[in-house]
Amino acid sequence: MIKIMVATDLSDRSALALQRAVRLIRQQGGGDWCLLHVVDDQAPQAYVAEHVQRVQALLEEEAPQLAEDAGSRPQVLVGSGEVEEVVAKAAEEQGIDLILVGAQRRSALRDFFVGRSVERLIRSSQRPVLRVAAPVNGDYHKALVALDASSTSLHALASVRKLGLVEPEQCHALRVLEPVPMGTLAEAGIDYRQLELKAGEVLQMLRGELKEAGLGLPDAQVRVEQGQPRQVIADVFKQSQADLLVIGSHARKGLSRLVLGSVASGLLNDLQGDILCVPPQA
């Protein structure tokens, strides 16, 4: 069984994360899980203390119904401070395996997830973070794992299996090759057909890497596409009817293809689906 934490701001966005957590706990037959709300400690101390007590009472009031729905009562935690720091510390102390959050709000107004703090939480987390944005209509049935040439992305595939979010045989792997401008091809005397041949070679190499790592998938579930990574990943995710996208975060690995920058950040902002972000292996 995995231990789950739901970082909630008590909004409708966080409600989706809470619903997914209930589903996951019930799916695994119970287990330990907790709810965490963080109060901004920049407010006056009296307000912070009052708000902490009020939220604690509210969540404790909801806990019995959640216990009935999930088959296990959640522990209620309310803290104050910077969201990322409080969540990271609580996850460490509680031995959490998976953190669930809702989608970040699409406005400049200040609330629990200020600006891009969902991204900051994912970037700083040493635990996998599941960003829930889609309605919860059942268990996950298909995961698309976006792979680059790093060990982190292979670890992401291993993690989604270990967490039990989807059946191993329902994992699909995708690697995207960025296109080379036609002018550059002409200058180098490269025929476009050579790129197609290269994609085939990369596909065979990818299948070999997966088998060597003990993560082999049927050939039909491993694909290589050419194009802009962010757009291709989003398109394949929709076309494949997957309900979970899995990416590796390279927050402490420098700039790679799936850093929390142009690609992963764009997917988190634009993709109306659930995304599991897996940090580098410790």
Domain 4-132 has CATH 3.40.50.620: yes
User: Mind listing the pLDDT tens digit for each residue in 103-149?
Assistant: 876 544 444 444 457 888 888 889 999 999 999 999 999 999 999 87
**Stated pTM of the model:** 0.87
Q: Where are the domains of the chain?
A: 4-132, 143-278
Q: What is the mean pLDDT of the chain?
A: 85
User: Mind listing the pLDDT tens digit for each residue in 10-61?
Assistant: 988 899 999 999 999 999 999 999 999 998 888 788 888 898 999 999 999 9
Q: Which residues contact 57 (CB under 8 A, 6 or more apart)?
A: none
Asked, colleague to colleague, whether 4-132 and 143-278 share their fold, the answer is: yes
Q: Which fold has domain 143-278?
A: Rossmann fold (3.40.50)
Q: What is the share, in percent, of the chain residues with pLDDT greater than 90?
A: 59
Output the six-digit token pair for 233.
Answer: 């990943």
Of 270, 25, 11, whose CA–CA distance to 165 is shortest? Answer: 25
Q: Which of 38-42, 86-90, 149-153, 159-163 has the lowest mean pLDDT?
A: 149-153
Classify 51 as helix, strand or coil. helix
Classify 122 as helix, strand or coil. helix
Cβ atoms 131, 118 nearer than 8 A: yes
The amino acid at residue 164 is: G
